[in-house]
Structure 1
Amino acid sequence: MIDFAIQNAWLIPLLPVLSFVLIVFVLKPWPKLSAAVSIACILISFVLAISVGLGVFHAESPITAEHPFKQAVTWFSMPGLEIEMGVQIDPTSAMMLFVVTLIASLVQIYSLGYMHGDPNFSVFYSYLSLFAASMLGLVIAPNLLQMFIFWELVGLCSYLLIGFWWHKYSAREAAKKAFITTRTGDFGLLMGILLLQINFGTLDLQKLGEMIPNFTQYTSLTAAGLTAIAMILFLGPIGKSGQFPLHVWLPDAMEGPTPVSALIHAATMVVAGVYLVGRILVLFKTVPAAMLLVAVVGGFTAFFAASIAFTQIEMKKILAYSTVSQLGYMMLALGAGGLTASMFHLMTHAFFKALMFLGAGSVLHAMHNEANIWKYGGLKKKMPITYWTFFIGCLAIAGIPPFAGFFSKDLILETVLANSSFHHATGPYAGAYSILFILGTLTAMMTAFYMFRMFFICFHGEQRDSHFHPHEAPFSMALPLVVLAVLSVVGGWVGTPWTHGAENFAYYIRFGEYEPIHANVPLIALSVAVALIGIIGAFMVYGRKTVMEEPLAKLGIIYKLSYNKFYIDEIYLWLIHNILDGVGRILYWVDIVIVDNIVNGVGLAAKILGSILRRTETGKLQHYALVLFAAVVVIVLVLAFNGDSTTAAALLLGGGR
């Protein structure tokens, strides 16, 4: 079974594609059958993904990042360009296959209850299948072109799912905002891919991994040129993974159904950018300035998004900004050279973030889609399963041991610390990494505070609005919560030193970093301490008694800035209305007044000249003879006035004859 799974890993994305096609063309009139087929296909893909993971770890010849299992066929070939389509399996892609198929399976099971009765139930499941297939195709891609094709399909599916309830104006606008914002970054990604092809002659990930570290042997690029390519390509992950300043689409994506939010934020679209940077990390490692850019963007995004989540009043908005922040953590790890730390956090984050989004969906389902958390309260008594599973998710994201988020967050901080002057690093950017380490530590404390702020407001105290009668979620929604809660507890244990002798996760699953990283006790104590400070602070403000209004509002301008998301959206709107629209009006005037008049003038001149010439072409012999005689007379007169009367007389007589 294991060998079969690795040899046929292409079936993992193909099965959801088959489900999509069957639902769209055959099963659409039967919603329950559509859901059954979709869930069956993704579950089979999940089983195959587990088999692929086992095959990677137990292969006779070690499957590593440097020596992956690869199957490919030539798609098209021409002089200087050969593109393959196929499958590439290594520890990173094996982990991603497991995470994507697991979360997609649980989301589809959860949707049985959440989307029950929706008139477009079958269509919803077809979109979920296509979304999962697109992400799985991206994961196993052996080259950047194939990744880009599935990258765009992921963007299309996000547009369809965010705007699934198209009758809502806010959903339509959110879908368009996500699509346009991510396309902005995708333009940079496409330019970066083209520049790599032009300079290296290949887009194959394995070949690029061998050529880029020795780029001066293969290209005429300078270090500055390669840095520019890396920075241009990085625009794509900035947009897709919601990094500052292209993060604005991601919180608005909450307008889609909650299962969509869980899928987008935990296992598909937003992690695609992180995954792509991880796949081409050798490019950034080769040019330290680009590496620092990834770290700075990630570190700032983590801190910035956390500061916004502090004051939001909707569960899904708070979770959305926490996703932006956690994605910033993953980028920060990649910018510090920590592929394992980033991918490890991507995995654990998928567990607890999917858990909390589905938990939020359970609450919204019980509260008739009322989004304002200040109308909740006392849900602990009415929704015990949701309460305890959500509590586990909060502990995991806060980084409290032994929950999953503790191990991955700690590994990220350790990776950044190793590059900083605090760790006696001597690189030119050691000071910058020291600042990023401080930002990462502060973000950990802020994360614990705002997550438990939401937790205490929603689940503790007394119910604030008596109009609602909350109840526990049905079994189809509760089961995925329990499964994800278990994974949020044990999912990080693979990163402990006792998992494989004295070596940890980084060595065991061979992400390409073979040095075992041992426990840093002072750093662990620091990270746990800041998390506890955040939790205790949230309890002191919101947990001791039922709070009826926001105490943070006393912070004045700071609260206002955070609540209004630092007016980033308003700044973009101002730029669009005053700069882009202004430039558009100028170009419109140039087009209408100048270009059109020139084109129309040329056409009018041709029309007038044609009209004049048309009158000379009558087809009558006497008219042509008259013209000929008139021409002779004119020539005679010209010659006569110039004093050549002899020639003039000869012409006249000759003309007369």
Structure 2
Amino acid sequence: MLSLGLLFGTAVFAPLLGAIIAGLFGRVIGDAASRIVTIALMVLASVCAVAALATGLDSGSQAIAVPVSTWVQAGGFHASWQLRFDTLSASMVTMVTVISTLIHLYSVGYMAHEKTPVSRFFAYLSLFSFAMLMLVSSDNLIQLFFGWEGVGLASYLLIGYWFDRPSANAAAVKAFVVNRVADLFFMVGIALVFLQFGTVAYDNIFALVPAHASSVYHLFGSDLRAYEVIGVLLFIGAAGKSAQLFLHTWLPDAMEGPTPVSALIHAATMVTAGVFLMARMSPLLEYAPVAKDVVLFIGATTCFFAATVGLVQPDIKRTIAYSTCSQLGYMFMAAGCGVYQAAMFHLTTHACFKALLFLSAGSVIHALHGEQDMFRMGGLWRKLPVTYAAVWAGALALGGIPPFAGWWSKDAIIDGAFVAGGLGLYGWVLGVAVAFLTALYSWRMLFLVFHGRPRVPELADHAHESPFVMTLPLVILGIAAVVAGWLLYPYYVGERQAAYWNGAIFNGAENHVLANLDQLPALITLVPTIAAFLGLGAAVVFYVLKPELPGRLAASMRPLYLFLLNKWYFDELYDLIFVRPYRALARVLWHGADEGIVDGSATGLARLTAGGSAQIVRIQTGSIAVYAFTMLIGLLALCSVFLFFG
């Protein structure tokens, strides 16, 4: 246990050491040393994480607590700081460290032409990785919230890394504010958990869940089951981090950060925190069917919404960003159906092929000197052969084409929705539709970027393949996009899943969705794959055989095209409902209350004091006769008062 705890602790805290060294001493040791230190410590973290996972699986042990220190002790409230090792946390730590290591390595080449010192950038990357590792290795909700806010802070720093760009600053603030809105609900949910169970430690909460199943809250004149309220509040917090519908608007704007940031935040780490939270709290959610339906409905709707928007975006990074939003919708749909294992399966495979696509997009942008508009690209496959092959692997995995990674995990989710029945059928219909749309926009991106004639020849003429330090992560992630699905399937949702998870994920006594996945008719299981191939065929027709068709469709259905291009007008709607009234109220409080009342009162009092003192100064004439006369008048006034009230 000591060796396991040491391995796991090293995996979690090594990135923090790298962040401290590069962040505090980066200007002293220089950029090269900062890169070497942070990458070396991330490699150490990855090796230790893999070793810890393998050791834990070999021992077959359940949850193990790795003490760090005493943290919070206030009256009856106690929250220790210790790492929780179980299969759920160990698999997340392994995935985060490996993906983050590859992104650190890739950043060496991508940020090589930065004029400013990049030690700060690598410090932020390592800090972000540590915060995410703290989140997924937490042993209680307060420690989880520490990591939760840590990734929020680090994402703010990374999205706004190019602080001389107003758009980057605005995107960083937007991400921070939207997540704070969701975090308010999350904090209330944590508070209710403590009030309900008297503890925030996972093991204690999960042990007490059956005993409090009948608890209710009296709200708005009706009785609401406590677990339903808590489940919805926790989901709202998760929806903010994972960019689900209504709280998703920060995610596409976050593309203002450097591309490695997009890969780190939107592939393997921050946006998956909400999915991890749903899996971690599965013992509570299994007693909250209404909350699970809310998760399912929002997840499925987000999946469809983001896919329709990604279908028309001209920016390569925003297309991939909306693809991330859509795939996260799949994961929440799986959690809502009770197949948390499938959600974690897709989370892991998605981390591989989505990091691959983001880094491939960065390679294209690097080759084209910052160009991100796909309609200014084209004909690049000869210039960027490694990147081209990587995008093929990523697009096949994202599109759900067998036997690539995305096919295994996405089909497990869609099949799970069908087995769940009820509202799950809504998820199944949208999941199949999104399988078609995902394949379509995946190959739309590939064909627009790499095929056809160069639309801006001067850009394509100077394009060149990225250096080895950038293409090596692409090759590794490309291999993972091919083999990760069939390698992990038996352990995550297949015949070995019960032994693999070993109680880290809970399924209620009435939840038989995962067990019944293999009993679906063959035709039902083939429907998502058929939809994916139809999407691929449509992309070939639209962007290879008849490339004029998309323009004609956009012109003939212009209102629909503009609706999708403007992202269903969520930003405009929020601006009208929230931003403008808030600014108007702020102006009223500023000019009316602050300047008119607060400043006005102070200014008026100052003027009164100054005017009175000016009048009093006139009395100081220096004449003894005047002073004597004034004293006499005062004496008479004082005597009159005493006589009158006498």
* Shorter-chain TM-score tier: 0.7 to 0.9
Residues of 1 paired with 2:273 and 2:380: CA distance?
35
Residues of 2 paired with 1:513 and 1:402: CA distance?
29
1:586 and 1:224, CA in 2 relative to 1: closer, same or farther beyond 3 A? farther
1:290 and 1:546, CA in 2 relative to 1: closer, same or farther beyond 3 A? closer
Higher mean alpha-carbon deviation, 320-329 vs 180-189, is at 180-189
Q: Deviations over 1:378-416 (max 9, x none)?
A: 112221111111101111111111111111111111221
1:506 and 1:517 in contact (8 A); partners too: no
**1:87 counterpart residue number:** 83
Paired residues for 1:413-428 under 5 Å: 413-420=414-421
Given residue 196 of structure 1, which amino acid in structure 2 is its aligned partner?
V
Residues of 2 paired with 1:545 and 1:398: CA distance?
21
1:226 and 1:584, CA in 2 relative to 1: closer, same or farther beyond 3 A? farther
Q: Provide the secondary structure at the position in 1 that maps to 2:84.
A: strand
Deviation of the 1:435 alpha carbon? 1.5
2:124 and 2:154 in contact (8 A); partners too: yes
Paired residues for 1:358-397 under 5 Å: 358-397=359-398
Q: Provide the secondary structure at the position in 2 that maps to 1:382.
A: coil
Residues of 2 paired with 1:94 and 1:154: CA distance?
19
Residues of 1 paired with 2:645 and 2:552: CA distance?
102
Given residue 55 of structure 1, which amino acid in structure 2 is its aligned partner?
T
Of the three residues 557, 563, 571, the one matched with 1:561 is 563
**2:40 counterpart residue number:** 40
**1:96 counterpart residue number:** 92
**2:162 counterpart residue number:** 165
Higher mean alpha-carbon deviation, 190-199 vs 302-311, is at 190-199
2:84 and 2:138 in contact (8 A); partners too: yes
Residues of 2 paired with 1:260 and 1:413: CA distance?
30
**1:337 counterpart residue number:** 338
Paired residues for 1:39-78 under 5 Å: 39-60=39-60, 62-63=61-62, 67-71=63-67, 73-78=69-74
Of the three residues 447, 451, 454, the one matched with 1:460 is 451
Deviation of the 1:622 alpha carbon? 10
Higher mean alpha-carbon deviation, 438-447 vs 552-561, is at 552-561
Within the alignment, does 1:123 sit opposite 2:120 as a pair? yes
Given residue 485 of structure 1, which amino acid in structure 2 is its aligned partner?
G
**2:469 counterpart residue number:** 476
Deviation of the 1:136 alpha carbon? 0.6
Unaligned runs of 5+ in 2: 508-513, 614-627
Residues of 2 paired with 1:73 and 1:81: CA distance?
16
**1:573 counterpart residue number:** 575
1:516 and 1:553, CA in 2 relative to 1: closer, same or farther beyond 3 A? same
Residues of 1 paired with 2:356 and 2:316: CA distance?
13
1:586 and 1:204, CA in 2 relative to 1: closer, same or farther beyond 3 A? same
Q: Provide the secondary structure at the position in 1 that maps to 2:372.
A: coil
Q: Provide the secondary structure at the position in 2 that maps to 1:381.
A: coil
**2:267 counterpart residue number:** 266
**1:134 counterpart residue number:** 131
1:4 and 1:293, CA in 2 relative to 1: closer, same or farther beyond 3 A? same
**2:18 counterpart residue number:** 19
1:628 and 1:79, CA in 2 relative to 1: closer, same or farther beyond 3 A? same
Residues of 1 paired with 2:540 and 2:206: CA distance?
49
1:138 and 1:151 in contact (8 A); partners too: yes
**2:479 counterpart residue number:** 486
1:10 and 1:87 in contact (8 A); partners too: yes
Deviation of the 1:24 alpha carbon? 2.3
Q: Deviations over 1:58-87 (max 9, x none)?
A: 115x32xxx444536431323321111110
1:299 and 1:439 in contact (8 A); partners too: yes
Deviation of the 1:88 alpha carbon? 0.4
Q: Provide the secondary structure at the position in 2 that maps to 1:235.
A: helix
Q: Deviations over 1:19-42 (max 9, x none)?
A: 111112324342111101110000
Deviation of the 1:450 alpha carbon? 0.8
**1:503 counterpart residue number:** 495
Given residue 583 of structure 1, which amino acid in structure 2 is its aligned partner?
L
2:437 and 2:535 in contact (8 A); partners too: yes
Q: Provide the secondary structure at the position in 2 that maps to 1:58.
A: helix
Deviation of the 1:596 alpha carbon? 4.1
1:213 and 1:282 in contact (8 A); partners too: no
Of the three residues 447, 467, 470, the one matched with 2:438 is 447
Residues of 2 paired with 1:26 and 1:232: CA distance?
41
1:372 and 1:79, CA in 2 relative to 1: closer, same or farther beyond 3 A? same
Residues of 1 paired with 2:48 and 2:477: CA distance?
20
Within the alignment, does 1:437 sit opposite 2:433 as a pair? no
**2:104 counterpart residue number:** 108
Residues of 2 paired with 1:359 and 1:632: CA distance?
95
1:547 and 1:42, CA in 2 relative to 1: closer, same or farther beyond 3 A? farther
2:342 and 2:492 in contact (8 A); partners too: no
Within the alignment, does 1:247 sit opposite 2:248 as a pair? yes
TM-score, normalization: structure 1? 0.86
**2:9 counterpart residue number:** 10
Residues of 2 paired with 1:188 and 1:47: CA distance?
37
2:341 and 2:493 in contact (8 A); partners too: no
1:90 and 1:178, CA in 2 relative to 1: closer, same or farther beyond 3 A? same
Paired residues for 1:249-328 under 5 Å: 249-328=250-329
Task: Kindly report the root-mean-square deviation, in angstroms, between the aligned alpha carbons of the 2 structures.
Answer: 3.1
Q: Deviations over 1:529-558 (max 9, x none)?
A: 010011101111112266697444132211
Higher mean alpha-carbon deviation, 230-239 vs 123-132, is at 230-239
Given residue 256 of structure 1, which amino acid in structure 2 is its aligned partner?
G
2:132 and 2:151 in contact (8 A); partners too: yes
1:5 and 1:49 in contact (8 A); partners too: no
**1:584 counterpart residue number:** 586
Unaligned runs of 5+ in 1: 421-429, 612-617, 637-657
Given residue 32 of structure 1, which amino acid in structure 2 is its aligned partner?
A
1:5 and 1:48 in contact (8 A); partners too: no
Deviation of the 1:481 alpha carbon? 0.5
1:524 and 1:21, CA in 2 relative to 1: closer, same or farther beyond 3 A? same
Identity of aligned residues (%): 36
Deviation of the 1:234 alpha carbon? 2.3
Q: Provide the secondary structure at the position in 2 that maps to 1:467.
A: helix
Paired residues for 1:207-222 under 5 Å: 207-215=204-212
1:212 and 1:591, CA in 2 relative to 1: closer, same or farther beyond 3 A? farther
1:7 and 1:31, CA in 2 relative to 1: closer, same or farther beyond 3 A? closer
Instruction: Report the count of equivalent residues.
Output: 614
Residues of 2 paired with 1:58 and 1:212: CA distance?
30
1:164 and 1:256 in contact (8 A); partners too: yes
1:70 and 1:142 in contact (8 A); partners too: no
1:374 and 1:549 in contact (8 A); partners too: no
Deviation of the 1:194 alpha carbon? 1.9
Residues of 2 paired with 1:513 and 1:279: CA distance?
9
1:353 and 1:393 in contact (8 A); partners too: yes
**2:199 counterpart residue number:** 202
Residues of 2 paired with 1:501 and 1:226: CA distance?
27
Q: Provide the secondary structure at the position in 2 that maps to 1:117.
A: coil
Residues of 2 paired with 1:500 and 1:107: CA distance?
25
Residues of 1 paired with 2:267 and 2:443: CA distance?
20
Residues of 1 paired with 2:595 and 2:317: CA distance?
49
1:213 and 1:73, CA in 2 relative to 1: closer, same or farther beyond 3 A? farther
Given residue 363 of structure 2, which amino acid in structure 1 is its aligned partner?
S
Q: Deviations over 1:169-217 (max 9, x none)?
A: 2212111111111111112112221222233221112211222332258
Residues of 2 paired with 1:204 and 1:195: CA distance?
13
Q: Deviations over 1:209-247 (max 9, x none)?
A: 222332258887864344223323322211111111111
TM-score, normalization: structure 2? 0.88
